[in-house]
Amino acid sequence: MNYKIKINLVVSFIMLISFSEIFSQNLTRKQYITKYSALAVKQMRQYKIPASITLAQGILESNNGNSKLAVKANNHFGIKCHGWEGKKIFEDDDKKNECFRKYKSPLESFKDHSLFLNKYSRYAFLFDYKITDYKSWARGLKKAGYATNKKYPELLIKIIEDNKLNIFDDKDVEIEFISEIRNIYMHPNRIKYVKSENQDTYMTIAKDLNIKLWQLQKYNDSKETNILAEGTIVFIQPKRKKGKVKIHTYNKNESLISISQFYGVKLKSLKKRNDLILKKGLNNGDKLRLR
pLDDT at 289 over 80: yes
Instruction: Tell me the pLDDT tens digit for each residue of 229-274.
Output: 988 999 999 999 999 999 999 988 899 999 999 999 999 999 999 9
Each residue of 191-205: pLDDT tens digit? 999 988 888 899 999
Domains recognised in the chain with CATH numbers? 13-175 (1.10.530.10), 189-234 (3.10.350), 247-289 (3.10.350)
* Per-residue pLDDT tens over the stretch 156-175: 999 999 998 998 998 766 54
Q: How far apart are CA 214 and CA 223, in angstroms?
A: 8
* Segment 3-32, tens digit of pLDDT: 333 444 433 322 323 323 333 458 899 889
Which residues lie closer than 8 Å to 5 by C-beta, 6 or more apart?
185, 186, 187, 188
CA atoms within 13 A on the CB side of 253: 0
Cβ contacts of residue 185 below 8 Å, gap of 6+?
5, 7, 8, 192, 193, 194, 195
Average pLDDT, the chain: 86
Question: Band of the pLDDT at 181, cuts 50, 70, 90?
Answer: low
pLDDT at 173: 63
Predicted pLDDT at 172: 67
Q: How many Å from the N-terminal Cα to the C-terminal Cα in the chain?
A: 16
Q: Which residues contact 156 (CB under 8 A, 6 or more apart)?
A: 53, 56, 57, 60, 134, 138, 141
- Checking if the pLDDT of 100 tops 80, the result is yes
> DSSP E strands: which ranges in 70-204?
88-91, 98-101, 174-175, 185-186, 192-195
Neighbours of 218 (CB within 10 A): 15
Q: What percent of the chain has pLDDT over 70?
A: 88
pLDDT value of position 3: 33
Please give the Cα distance from 43 to 114 (Å, whole number): 7
Give the predicted TM-score (pTM) of the model: 0.56
Residue-wise pLDDT tens digits, 32-54:
988 888 889 889 988 999 999 99
